[in-house]
Amino acid sequence: MLNAIINYHISKRVTFSTTLTYQTGKPSTFPTSYYFIEGLPYLDYSDRNEYRIPDYFRADISLTIEGNLRKKKWLHSSFVFSVYNLTSRENPYSVYFTKEEGRIISYQYAVIGVPILSATWIFKLGNFDAD
């Protein structure tokens, strides 16, 4: 598994961030072929965990715009605009097999397959430097 986080301060109040995540796919046991014993069909399976589901890769970006930088203020806010899964990659959560018209068809299921846009308004007590 590899994670990379890059932050770039465009100005005092504006920050651009990106996160890159990569993970090799989960090991899995797949049916590989059909064969017949005494006229009846059976499935042959691979060795345990011989195969992997496709790798996981995700890129996220965000833009943070801070409120004014005045020293004396009792409430500071910032806006965060972000895109989750920027590349729209359909990272498979699982791979499963099902029987259709006598054939075994495999499918991959991705929980999120589209970019997710979000906008967040964050408040904190104090000024920009306050924890």
Partner 1 sequence: MALLMLGGCIKEYHPRFNSESTQKYVVQGMLTNIEGWQEVNISISASLLNPEYIPLMDCQVEIRDDVNQKFTLEDSGNGTYRVWMSAEYLVPGRSYQLIVTTPNGQVLESAFDQMPKVPEVENIYFEVEDLPTNDPDEWLSGIQYYVDLNAGEDDSRFYRWQLTETWEYHSAYPIEYYYDGEVQHVFPPDYSQFYCWRTRVVDEIYTLSTQNLTENTYTKFPLHYVKNTTEKLSVYYSVLVKQIALSEKAYGYWDQLRINNTIGEGLYGSQPMVIEGNILNKSNPDIQVLGFFQASAVSSKRVFTAPIEGLELDYSDKCSPALLRKGLREITPNMYPAYLMSSGDGQWLPILLNDECVLCTLRFGVTEKPDFWPL
Q: Which of 27, 36, 32 is nearest to 46 (CA)?
A: 32
Identify whether the C-beta of residue 95 lies closer than 8 Å to the C-beta of residue 41.
Answer: no
Pattern of binders to partner 1 over 21-50, x per CB under 8 A?
Answer: --------xxxxxxxxxxxxxxxxxxxx--
CB of 53 to partner 1, least distance (A): 8
Identified binder of partner 1 from the candidate list 116, 122, 125, 130, rule CB under 8 A: 116
CB of 98 to partner 1, least distance (A): 10
d(C-alpha 56, C-alpha 58), whole Å = 7
CB of 70 to partner 1, least distance (A): 36
The number of beta carbons lying within 10 Å of the beta carbon of residue 105 is: 10
Instruction: CB nearer to partner 1: give 62 or 78.
Output: 62
Vertex 9, ends 8 and 15: CA angle to 5°? Answer: 90
Instruction: CB nearer to partner 1: give 2 or 111.
Output: 111
Q: Which of 51, 55, 77 is nearest to 65 (CA)?
A: 77
Q: Which residues bind partner 1 (CB under 8 A)?
A: 29-48, 51, 54, 90, 92, 95, 97, 102-114, 116
